[in-house]
Structure 1
Amino acid sequence: MFTLKTAERFEQEIKKSRFLASAGPVGSEEDARRFITACSSLEAGHNCWAFRIGGIYRFNDDGEPGGTAGRPILQAIDGQDLDRVAVVVSRWFGGVLLGAGGLMRAYGGTAAACLRSAERQPIIAYVSLSVTCRFADEARIRTGLATYPDALVETGGFTAEGVRLQVKLPSNRTDDFIRMVTDISRGQAEVETL
């Protein structure tokens, strides 16, 4: 899955109607609603939108016939494997009726073109782990962590026999990390998912 690095805009004319798409990264439903409000044009006849944040998604046709605007925008988001993204497509009516199919193609196509032109970044899922080890193993484990440039390490505290470290790293590296800790500590360290 990917999200957008920055906000992007794309404009096109379809049968004399002007369509302007604005897409941007959002981290919460509240962020998405703020983005939608900021990108909606008061002069436009319709400001249709959609957003997806994990399992949360919403869309709105803003007066267009049901299912002809918001849902195609959401399909453009989903079709490009994007998450944590909001898109607003504003329409200025040009006098030519597009019909339901034409509206779906216009809204979905404008949103898709905007999203294709936007710079993306991968979404990396992180996991938090607690490592309890002996004092003698701490330095070696920290040295081993140097091979995990995305890892964040905090000292969680001390135990009677050693140290508790809290480590946050990409979830796809968890098995490698546990194997490394087990090898360094000769099976003495305990690793738990938080």
Structure 2
Amino acid sequence: MSKDYPVPAEYLERETEVKKSRFIARVAPVASRDEVKTWLEQAWRDHPDARHVCWAYQIGRPGAAAEAAMNDDGEPSGTAGKPILNVIQHKDMGDVLVMVIRYFGGIKLGAGGLVRAYAGAAESVLSAVPRAVQQPMMNATVTMNFADEQALRHWCNVHDGVVESVDYGPTVSARVSMPEHRVADFTAFCDAQKLDYGFDR
């Protein structure tokens, strides 16, 4: 099974200044594109007079991210979003969004200067943010008799699993999520109890 990976433990902000331009870097944990959108809208609400809000994010395991994107927000192509994403990838962190809010200080930095400024801003905030460990989760659907539900709930309580939902019909159908490293235990439990189960990605 795949191993756990580091994610930002919290939101954090750091500010740097380069030739009178202010670069306000924010890092936030994200699990979906909707969360990215919410954070970006918040950045514009907090800084309506900023010249640019450039960003990059990576969702999923570092090195094999399920989704990644970047945006230069009007800066010359490749001078903002890509340097931010490069720093994220170098830090080997997943489920992370970095936004860099720029107030133009009147002195042009040039393409090389912009790349260094945005990478430096991203580096400052990613170096400072505490890390947490994200456990990859697996989801399963279990079909069973009413009498088996209590045993399933007990297994989840003991093995860090969560019963997400239960549908009661002629049989009981439960949605369960668990850390990936518990899958073998779960399979053995279901086989011993003679429960029907299937995993979904």
Shift in CA distance, 51/136, structure 1 to aligned 2, threshold 3 Å:
closer
Find out whether 1:176 has 2:185 as its counterpart: yes
Find out whether 1:190 has 2:199 as its counterpart: no
Higher mean C-alpha deviation, range 66-75 or range 112-121? 112-121
Q: Which amino acid aligns with 2:182?
A: R
**Conserved? CA contact 1:151–1:170, under 8 Å:** no
Find the aligned partners of 2:15 and 2:103 in 1 and give their Cα distance. Answer: 11
Normalising by structure 2, report the TM-score: 0.74
Find the aligned partners of 1:17 and 1:135 in 2 and give their Cα distance. Answer: 65
Find the aligned partners of 2:22 and 2:137 in 1 and give their Cα distance. Answer: 42
Q: Percent identity?
A: 35
Deviation sequence 1:6-35 (CA, Å, 0-9, x none): 321001123443211122233432332232
Query: Within 5 Å, which residues of 2 pair with 1:1-194?
Result: 1-40=5-44, 41-54=47-60, 55-133=66-144, 139-152=150-163, 155-157=166-168, 164-183=173-192, 185=193, 188-194=194-200
Find the aligned partners of 1:5 and 1:179 in 2 and give their Cα distance. Answer: 33
Find the aligned partners of 2:49 and 2:174 in 1 and give their Cα distance. Answer: 56
Aligned length: 189
Shift in CA distance, 153/16, structure 1 to aligned 2, threshold 3 Å:
closer
Higher mean C-alpha deviation, range 19-28 or range 124-133? 124-133
What secondary structure, in the 3-state scheme, does the structure 1 residue paired with 2:178 have? strand
Q: Which amino acid aligns with 1:182?
A: D
Deviation sequence 1:135-183 (CA, Å, 0-9, x none): 7766555444442134326554465xx8654432122211121123334
Q: Which amino acid aligns with 2:49?
A: E
What secondary structure, in the 3-state scheme, does the structure 2 residue paired with 1:3 have? strand
Question: Of the two, which has the highest radius of gyration?
Answer: 1
Shift in CA distance, 144/51, structure 1 to aligned 2, threshold 3 Å:
closer
Q: Which amino acid aligns with 2:96?
A: V
Q: Which amino acid aligns with 1:189?
A: L
Normalising by structure 1, report the TM-score: 0.76
Where do 5+ consecutive residues of structure 1 fail to align?
none
Shift in CA distance, 141/101, structure 1 to aligned 2, threshold 3 Å:
same
Higher mean C-alpha deviation, range 140-149 or range 73-82? 140-149
How far has the Cα of 1:130 moved from its partner?
A: 3.2
Find the aligned partners of 1:165 and 1:30 in 2 and give their Cα distance. Answer: 27
Where do 5+ consecutive residues of structure 2 fail to align?
61-65
